[in-house]
Structure 1
Amino acid sequence: MLGTVVKAAFAFIFISSAYILFGFVYRYYQRSLKFLRGPPRSSLLLGNDYEIIHQEEVNAIEAKWFNKYGTAFRTSTCYGEDSLMVADPRALQYILHTSGYRFPKAIDSQQITKMMFGRGIIWAEGEVHNRHRKVLNPAFSATQLRQFLSLFQRSTARLANKWKEEELVSSVVNVSQWLPMITLDVIGESAFDYKFGALDGHANELGEILKHMFADSRLYPQSWIILYRAFRRSLPSPLANFMCRFPTKEEVRFKKFSDASKKIAKSVFRTAAQETNGEEDLKGSKDVLSILLRSNLAADRKKALDEDEVLSQMATIILAGHETTASTTNWLLFELAKSPKDQQRTYTEIQDVRARIGRDKELTASDYDSMPFFNAVIKEALRLHPIAPVLSRQAASDDSIPLEFPIITESGEEISQIPVSKGQRIILSIAMYNRLAQVWGEDANEWNPERFMIDSKKRTTLGVYANLMTFSAGVRACIGWRFAIMELQAILFGLLEKFEFSPPPGGLDDIQRVPAGIMIPMKKNNWQEGVQMPLHVKARE
């Protein structure tokens, strides 16, 4: 028996090694992007992947390459495969918007997404994604979302009271510990009528998993993990799916989150189903839970979501709906703490609105939108600090990607189109586009909310909000972007109205934008402390 197992193991190793070797040789001589310029391969097996994944600051390495090679260039990934890295506006528009579903997520991205969220809208592709989007769209309309403004405002007020109760005011507060609590409570109650109780200190399995979701004791994957994932994504689908049964340590955390969120979702979903008498009771209701219930009951299967898809949507919304907003608020307060004049100007607009509507009245969506500089600082924070710095795609067929800004090839030729072959791996640099000097001006790397106060015409417009790529674009743009903006407005207004934020003793220069799946703040040379955004918080008189 033991001999059979050993033989099988050796056979697997031999076949895997042969497959890798064949793939390496094939890709090396069949590179579709060999005509493009790009950085030299830093490792024969790893290409440029290791240095990209292990950089200490988001976009630090890629920024140098974009400055040298232009808005699109070739990089090397594992086993001799070439990757196209892009930040060109027209190329991004073509891939994400014009082409619809012709550039699906890269296979490894699909694999990770399924582990984390299950068969939800972020994982889905093509017609399946279109079906999911049509089901969920009504829940994320501007009209529907306005009903949650009161919840956003109450939750922010509770956070402010917590800081006062725990005597944190007039001291340094790690706001990155608190902001996920408020956004988790908000998404639970608004989307699913479920109370996480995070601000009240209620311990729950999901909350504990989320604390360590993206930052644990070993932040960066080892070389063998990078190679393993690259090997797995290159396999035929049935074999790749089988290999996903052997997850890495990080993927085990993702799976734990998915299982825990589905467990909660199942309880919420079944309780809500028992309290209704079928589809008629849900008719006209446009909250997320009602929409998911109605879809699960739909007779027309083209408009329906099965139970696993429903539970996966809930897992998706819980994570994507709270972690991203909390992280963005971290960076927004970080920038305002470093820019006291901009913070004061924002506070002045808040005071003007209060004087107009009254001290005890709740703000409307129009009230928030009436403050130009207030909204400009939100846009600038989203521009400088996109929480998901890159997106990965692959070409579903041979294609040609247009460029707004021509580039120079290896032979010295200037081109404005890049031909790509079916299966070509493409990395979309959201962080670089959001800081592209050709789009945002020579001060693109600097904090300057004033840029959004100027009505400037852009040759190519992108995204769903303020010409930014932070919420992606096209058919796969973030479905909850309006929810995120409204929540950011309510949190910023509620906190700045009551508190003044400033750097802690020693300043904020040691805070790094660490790439850990999403962009997280950590102290330089002190990553063992975990996620950190220490700000001095002072009550306004």
Structure 2
Amino acid sequence: MLLFLLEYAAICAGTWLLWKGLKGYVVNSPLDNIPGPPSDSWWAGNLRTMFNRHRGWKFHEDMDKFGAVVKIYGLFRERVLYIHDPKALHSIIVKDQHVYQKPDSSNVITRLVLGPGLLGTSGDSHRKQRKMLNPVFSIKHMRSMTPIFYRITRKLHAVIEEKVRNGPNEVDILHWMGRTALELIGQGGLGYSFDPLVANVPNPFAEAVKNLVPSFSILIFFRPLLPFVEKIGTPAFRSWIVDHFPSERLRLIKNISDTIHSESIEILRDKRTAIQSGDQAMIDKVGEGKDIMSILLKANMMADADDKLPEDVLLGQMSTFLFAAMDTTSNALSIIIHLLAQNQEVQDKLRKEVTAASVTHAAGDIPYDELVDLPYLDAICRETLRCHPPVASVSREAQEDIMLPLSSPIEGLDGKLMHEIFVPRGTNVVSSIMAANRNKKLWGDDAHEWKPERWLSPLPSAVTEAHMPGVYSNLMTFHGGVRSCIGFKFSQLEMKVVLAILVRSFRFTLSDKEIVWNLGGIRYPTVGRSSNIPSMPIRVELVE
């Protein structure tokens, strides 16, 4: 049976590759008149450069010289649109979002690994989940979770303080930001404690989540087959196939998925028991019943039959929370601390602000409303998320032929101005978050520079008049429309609580090790260019 399936997969893959190759080289495309860089490879197009962890940064920056809509090449000369034009983005993300959908193969990857949560569904299923989840990510709910965030961050403070009590010391900030982010989403999102945040205590679950993103790349090669694979037999049968498939990395992804799934089942069972035992049982649990899953489960129990979320969706939601909230926030916090270590005057100014705000409050915990309004802290967070978004781009696929409007015309290779672009069905469209956030026509000639002060004055009129479709601060960092990041307020609160506590007590400076930021599904730091192990050592000392 396994041999037959392998032969079938090989035939399907070969047929798909032959068709894509012939189509790319033989069939002309309406997109051929759009300017863009030449193909780097006869079979990989521009993708090897675009996704290269070092050279990819320059590729994204160089797109500026071609304009706000650029034609690049995918596999076997497939034409791909690379876009940061505001009006075009609004069409893709908001106005015509029903046309521009996540490729089905991407949804399948997410469903197979994480289950049918928000990231792995579309259409009515996605809308139904989003409707039930929206209330638990409200500002009111974030305000009630702030004490939980402070309690966790004080544990982080204690472990770092222990390391530098006898003098300056090198600390792997990425490691501790990752562990803290997991505990924050654990307690705040699931009402469950994953990590006591003490030194030298390994966490198998945290390691599984961290290793998921670097392992995903292998699935790109199986992407054409995944919609068919999902329909083969039962989950147990598909699991058996993977166990016997000649790919160690594929088995690693399956083991990670199994670890996350089994942990989610245990947490869900525990939460249901607490809810059925009454309110006091909930209060006695981690998160005090204020966590996202406790509220979601209560809402699901009271929902009409048509609106109830089934068991597999609830489990998928939990896996999705953990995956989406851990690496993005921990890496964003690490970027900020790295920038503060390079810019001591900014760090000093921030320390002065958070110290002044904390002295009038018990234990120095700045209340939610005051914390989110601290101007310099807010400016640093916004500018970092503008200039260094954790995710560089998002892809969609046109489900039908459609005209794409433009904010300003582009000149085609034939010399004629194009005020709109015909996008054929099946076209892959890349919305560049980084290029949109760094658009010099909107932000000025210094758009590529990190300058928190730009947020302390009114934004340029070009920025506000562009009507960028992002949900956050005229930026695309958290995307927009129905698939915007539902947890962006949760992430913002995490970042501000952690920074307010740490910067008040510690000074961060660069160590003698070179820190290199690598392009990936989520950007990540390493020591030097040759290493692929995520790490960010920073010199830390107590502030007197």
Are positions 1:79 and 2:76 aligned together? yes
Give the 5 Å matches for 1:47-446: 47-64=45-62, 66-167=63-164, 170-200=168-198, 201-215=200-214, 228-229=221-222, 231-232=224-225, 237-238=227-228, 250-277=249-276, 287-294=291-298, 296-297=300-301, 300-355=304-359, 357-358=360-361, 360-446=363-449
Q: Which moved more, 1:458-467 or 1:137-146?
A: 458-467
Contact 1:132 / 1:305 at 8 angstroms: preserved in 2?
Answer: yes
CA distance in 1, matches of 2:249, 2:407: 38
Contact 2:333 / 2:495 at 8 angstroms: preserved in 1?
Answer: yes
Q: CA deviation at 1:319?
A: 1.8
Structure 1 residue ranges (4+ consecutive) displaced by more than 6 angstroms after TM superposition: 8-12, 278-282
* Alpha-carbon spacing, 1:532–1:18, altered in 2? closer, same or farther (3 Å): closer
What letter corresponds to residue 126 of structure 2 in structure 1? Answer: H
CA distances 1:171-204 after superposition (whole Å, capped 9, x unpaired)? 1211011111111111111122211125135444
Q: CA deviation at 1:80?
A: 2.9
Q: CA deviation at 1:77?
A: 0.8
Q: CA deviation at 1:466?
A: 1.5
Q: CA deviation at 1:151?
A: 1.6
Contact 1:57 / 1:514 at 8 angstroms: preserved in 2?
Answer: no
CA distance in 1, matches of 2:7, 2:536: 49
CA distance in 2, matches of 1:349, 1:419: 51
Contact 1:58 / 1:519 at 8 angstroms: preserved in 2?
Answer: no
Aligned twin of 1:33:
31
Q: CA deviation at 1:344?
A: 1.1
Contact 1:389 / 1:431 at 8 angstroms: preserved in 2?
Answer: yes
CA distances 1:474-521 after superposition (whole Å, capped 9, x unpaired)? 111100000110111100100001011111136xxx322212321101
Contact 2:72 / 2:82 at 8 angstroms: preserved in 1?
Answer: yes
Which residue, out of 475, 487, 499, partners 2:482?
Answer: 475
Q: Which moved more, 1:202-211 or 1:111-120?
A: 202-211
CA distance in 1, matches of 2:184, 2:12: 50
Aligned twin of 1:461:
467
SS in structure 2 of the partner of residue 214 of structure 1: helix
Q: TM-score, normalised by structure 2?
A: 0.88
Aligned twin of 1:496:
503
CA distance in 2, matches of 1:16, 1:170: 56
CA distances 1:368-416 after superposition (whole Å, capped 9, x unpaired)? 1332111100111111221111111011221122222432211112223
SS in structure 2 of the partner of residue 59 of structure 1: helix
Task: List gaps (5 residues or longer) in structure 2.
Answer: 233-237, 283-288
Q: Which moved more, 1:369-378 or 1:193-202?
A: 193-202
Q: CA deviation at 1:135?
A: 1.0
Q: Which moved more, 1:358-367 or 1:132-141?
A: 358-367
What letter corresponds to residue 31 of structure 2 in structure 1? Answer: L
Contact 2:341 / 2:510 at 8 angstroms: preserved in 1?
Answer: yes
Which residue, out of 525, 533, 537, partners 1:534?
Answer: 537
Q: CA deviation at 1:231?
A: 4.0
CA distances 1:391-450 after superposition (whole Å, capped 9, x unpaired)? 110112211222224322111122231211222111111112111111221111111011
Aligned twin of 1:513:
517
Contact 1:181 / 1:198 at 8 angstroms: preserved in 2?
Answer: no
Aligned twin of 2:235:
none
Query: Number of residue pairs matched?
Result: 521
CA distance in 2, matches of 1:185, 1:12: 41
Which residue, out of 449, 454, 457, partners 1:451?
Answer: 454
Identity rate of aligned residues, in percent?
Answer: 27
What letter corresponds to residue 100 of structure 1 in structure 2? Answer: Q
What letter corresponds to residue 390 of structure 1 in structure 2? Answer: S
What letter corresponds to residue 39 of structure 2 in structure 1? Answer: R
CA distance in 1, matches of 2:57, 2:135: 36
Q: What is the RMSD of the two structures over their aligned residues, measured on CA atoms? A: 2.8
What letter corresponds to residue 261 of structure 2 in structure 1? Answer: K
Q: Which moved more, 1:177-186 or 1:54-63?
A: 54-63
Task: List gaps (5 residues or longer) in structure 1.
Answer: none
* Alpha-carbon spacing, 1:272–1:359, altered in 2? closer, same or farther (3 Å): closer
Q: CA deviation at 1:540?
A: 0.7
Q: Which moved more, 1:200-209 or 1:88-97?
A: 200-209
Contact 1:295 / 1:305 at 8 angstroms: preserved in 2?
Answer: no
* Alpha-carbon spacing, 1:250–1:407, altered in 2? closer, same or farther (3 Å): farther
What letter corresponds to residue 112 of structure 2 in structure 1? Answer: M
Q: CA deviation at 1:105?
A: 0.8
Q: TM-score, normalised by structure 1?
A: 0.88
Aligned twin of 2:286:
none
What letter corresponds to residue 140 of structure 1 in structure 2? Answer: F
CA distance in 2, matches of 1:131, 1:296: 11
